[in-house]
Amino acid sequence: MPRWIESKAFVLHSRPLGERDKLCSFFTHREGKIRAVAKGARRLQSRFGASLEPLSEVHLWYGEREGRELVTLRQCELIESIFDVGGTPEGEELIHHMVELVDEFCPPHQPNDKVYRLLRAALSCLRTLRGRQAELLRLYFDVWMLRLSGFFPSVDRCAECGGRISREEPVFLGLEGRPECAACQSAGRGIILSPLMRRDLRALLSEPPERWIARTGMEIWVSQFMSFLRRFISVVLEKELNTERFRGFS
Ligand SMILES: [Zn+2]
């Protein structure tokens, strides 16, 4: 007999499996990332309907069997769809990016309430976005994802000499995630975080996304920091993200 489990979840991927079924992955609140077979989901009048779109939030019931990695989906009810934002190119790109980061950073079967709440906050913010704010929301999401995965360090102390770095001083942050004070700063690759950037990043880690992306004066550092983040994430994951490869061709 399978063990039946009920959980809220975000859809990550779904792809055809044979003629009738779909193979899906979800980030569930209760058990983290799981892979599931949705029987009959390819049929026109499937009971799963349109609930299997990436980053839709759903209520799941599924059956687990001892020793098997794949679970069987019994029911999947839509809580909230991102259909309304998926239509814009910025919205679409951001959704793919967020799916990819959750997929890469969250190991299977490890629940993470903070990542779950980050996703929900970012998606609710995504619904209200205007223009360039998509880039800021992406930055917000990336920094938090790195932080919650243990890769984004506190930059208040120098990793080389151990000294405190005051808020008025710049910090060098290397691609290995080591913060260094001005005196110790090595010649390695990385970015210099000015006191202004440090202030805005402190705010990022204490404010909800819709408030943070509405801050003014950040445009002078955002592009440079975004390109640092792209390289930083590819060093952490030891690979280039698909969303970055795609960007390279467009
Ligand atoms: Zn130092």
Statement to judge: residues 125 and 232 lie in one domain: yes
d(CA 244, CA 241): 5
- Ligand 1: distance of its center to the CA of 151 in Å? 20
Instruction: Count the Cβ atoms, other than its own, within 10 Å of residue 190.
Output: 21
Tell which of 81, 115, 132 closes a domain.
81
Torsion 64-68-69-73 (CA) sign? negative
DSSP labels for 13-25?
EEEEETTTEEEEE
Q: What confidence score (pLDDT) does residue 154 get?
A: 92
For residue 154, report the distance from its CA to the centre of ligand 1, in Å.
Answer: 14
Q: How far is CA 76 from CA 24, 53, 146, 159, in A?
A: 11, 12, 30, 47
**Structure confidence by residue, pLDDT tens digits, 64-104:** 998 888 999 999 999 998 866 656 788 888 999 999 999 99
> 11: domain CATH number?
2.40.50.140
> pLDDT value at position 88?
79
* Ligand 1 geometric centre to CA of 60 (Å): 50
Q: Kindly indicate the confidence band of residue 45, based on its pLDDT and cuts at 50, 70 and 90.
A: confident
Cα–Cα dist 195/44, whole Å: 56
Please tell me whether residues 92 and 138 are part of one structural domain: yes
Looking at the structure, do residues 27 and 139 belong to the same domain, yes or no? no
Q: Are residues 73 and 149 in the same domain?
A: no
Q: How far apart are CA 61 and CA 9, in angstroms?
A: 10
